[in-house]
Amino acid sequence: MLVVVHTDNADILLLKRTQPVRFWQSVTGSLEPGETPQNAARREIEEETGLKDEGQLIDSGQSRVFTIDPRWRDRYADDVVQNTEHEWHYKLPSTMDIKLCAREHSAFRWFTIDDAIESVWSWTNKEALRGMKAKLG
C-alpha cells in the first residue's frame, strides 16, 4: 500500500523512515487479514500521520508488483518474495502539521513535487509521483 498525501497545490508530504534505513517515503503499509485496500489506506494514514477526516482518499487505480527488499522479508511468509502495492492519494486543502508514529518515522516535510520525486527511495514511490506530476500538466 502506498498513499501519496498531497495538497491542491501539489505539495507532497514525505515521512523520514527510522528503520531499517533512513529515507524519505510516502505513507506505506500492508493489508491486515480481511482488510480491504481502502480500509488499509485509511488506517495507515491515521497511524503514520494522525490525519483522519481532513482530506479526500482517492483510489488512483494503479498498482505495482515489486520484489520485497531483503530488509523487510521477515514481515512475510518464507515463500512470499513479491508484493503488490496499491496506490492511493490523500488530497488535503493545504499543508498541515502531522503527528508522526515515532516507531516508524523521525520527521515529516512538505516537498514540491519535483523535490519529492528526487527525495523518495523506492522506484514505486517515484513512479507514483511522476504519474501525479504528468496529470497536473
Query: 78, exposed or middle or buried, with CB in 10 Å at 0-12, 13-18, 19+?
Result: exposed
Report yes or no: 103 and 11 within 8 Å, Cβ to Cβ: no
For the chain, the C-alpha Rg in angstroms (whole number) is: 14
Query: For the domain with range 2-136, which CATH number is right: 3.40.50.410, 3.90.79.10, 3.40.50.1370, 3.40.50.700?
Result: 3.90.79.10
- pLDDT per residue, tens digit, the chain (137 aa), is 999 999 999 999 999 999 767 899 999 988 899 999 999 999 999 999 999 999 999 999 999 988 777 777 777 778 887 778 899 999 999 999 999 999 899 999 999 999 999 999 899 999 999 999 998 86
Q: What is the DSSP letter of 14?
A: E
Using CA of residue 88, residue 91, residue 95, residue 97, what is the dihedral sign? negative
Residues in Cβ contact with 71 at an 8 Å cutoff, skipping those fewer than 6 apart: 20, 21
SS3 per residue for 35-85: CCHHHHHHHHHHHHHCCCCCCEEEEEEEEEEEECCHHHHHHCCCCCCEEEE
pTM: 0.90
Ranges of each domain in the chain: 2-136
